[in-house]
Chain A
Amino acid sequence: MTPEGQTRRLISKRPKPRSWWLLNKRYTIYMLRELTAIPLLGFVLLCLYQLIKLSAGQSSYESLLSAMSSPAWILINAFILVASILHSVTWILLMPKGLPEFIVGIRVPPAPVLFGGFATWIAVSGIIVTICIRL
């Protein structure tokens, strides 16, 4: 008993490891999803750098282009591509949860939203890549 007449209580939370996101696979997938932001930021910075080179003139931009054809750069960009695909998949999977649950009083089931999301993504990607190759 404490002087106030109350029972003394041991107040401590169960300890949690710093790497809590390894405790179950859903936490791990969440962490991978959030970590995609770092490679995506890398690509954004690359775009910014390209823009700087572009405004510095043709020879400056083209020296960056030839550097980017090295295997190391291709590998880095392939890694960023994988991260961005992971971002797209996880983002589209969460889309049904952000949209209004009811449209004109009818519950919107998740399946058509998911189907629409993935179909749009694949179609848009196909169009962009095809146009760029055919140019």
Chain B
Amino acid sequence: MLERRIKVNVERQNFELQEGIYTQSYEVPVMDGMMVLDALNYIRDEIDSTLAFRWSCRMGICGSCGMTVDEQPRLTCQDNLNEYSDEISVAPLNNFPVIRDLVVDIDDFMQKKLPSVSPWLIRKEEAPLDEGEYLQSPAEMAKYADNSACINCMLCYSACPVYDMEPNFVGPAAMALAQRYNLDSRDQGSGARYSVLSGPDALWDCTFVGECSVACPKGVNPAEAIQRAKVEAAQRWAKSIIMPWSQK
């Protein structure tokens, strides 16, 4: 079998060796069906064990192997090398602080942005257990199903120029997940979520670039979810002005 060899140019950072960013190139033999992550694993196993990158499930669900491949944010375990030329560049995700090599610091999203929108079902009062589960029809589920596919891989943050310029921006995935729960018939917490969404550094900072929806590897459409949330938030605001008594 004819073997294909590709050149992988990895953008590295390791303060213990040297300050700043440097590029290291590796030659990797590629078989049909290999993903970008497989090439990185080959490099670490066979060529250079100092290369640091994050990965886990290799099946596009853990969301930990996001990187910048040929300057596009990609989930590397789902990114087929057949779609690339014989020379590719791999760099850490944009817009996140780099810890080492291809590993970025995700604390901002995981600890601040994501919890800020309460991405779970909120009930004013939990029904007693013996009343059974909260039922939902397929039509009700269809309203939020698209937004629920998010795996927190943060590719959308990497694609978002607003997040680049405003680090406090709540951002695409968190706002799409807020909508996922706002649109859930079992949820009663949209009021609290909208006060976050309509507050500083959230909905009104989004300028609808739309690149988040292009970057998403799971078919979530954060740009659209945010746009619909803006319409809803503006209606809620107008209602609170025209009918102040409707607010609690």
Residues of A within 8 A of B (CB): 8-14, 16, 20-21, 23-24, 26-27, 30, 34, 94, 97-102, 105, 107
Contacts and interface: CB of A to CB of B under 8 A. Distances in A.
Interface stretch (B41-49, B78-86, B187-195, B206-214): B206-214
Interface of B: 11, 13-15, 19, 21, 68, 71-72, 91-92, 94-100, 105, 139, 142-143, 161, 164, 207-211, 214, 223-224, 227-228, 230-231
Nearest to A30: B209
Nearest to A110: B224
A12 B97 contact: yes
| Chain B, interface SS category | mixed
Nearest to A31: B209
A20 B15 contact: no
Given A23-B71, A30-B209, A12 B98 contact: yes
Given A10-B99, A94-B208, A16 B228 contact: no
Nearest to A102: B143
A14 B92 contact: yes
Contact of A10 (B13, B68, B91, B139): B13
A9 B15 CA distance: 8
Contacts of A107: 142
Nearest to B228: A101
B164 A16 contact: yes
A102 B224 CA distance: 13
B13 A97 contact: no
A86 to B, nearest CB: 15
A40 to B, nearest CB: 16
B99 A34 contact: no
A98 B68 contact: no
Contact of B97 (A8, A11, A20): A11
B228 A9 contact: no
A98 B231 contact: yes
Contacts of A27: 161, 209, 211
Given A8-B15, A10-B13, A11-B105, A26 B96 contact: no
Nearest to B167: A13
B94 to A, nearest CB: 5
A16 B91 CA distance: 13
26 contacts: A9-B105, A10-B19, A10-B98, A11-B97, A11-B99, A12-B98, A13-B96, A13-B164, A14-B91, A16-B164, A24-B71, A24-B211, A26-B210, A27-B161, A27-B211, A30-B211, A34-B207, A94-B208, A94-B227, A97-B227, A98-B230, A99-B231, A101-B143, A101-B224, A102-B143, A107-B142
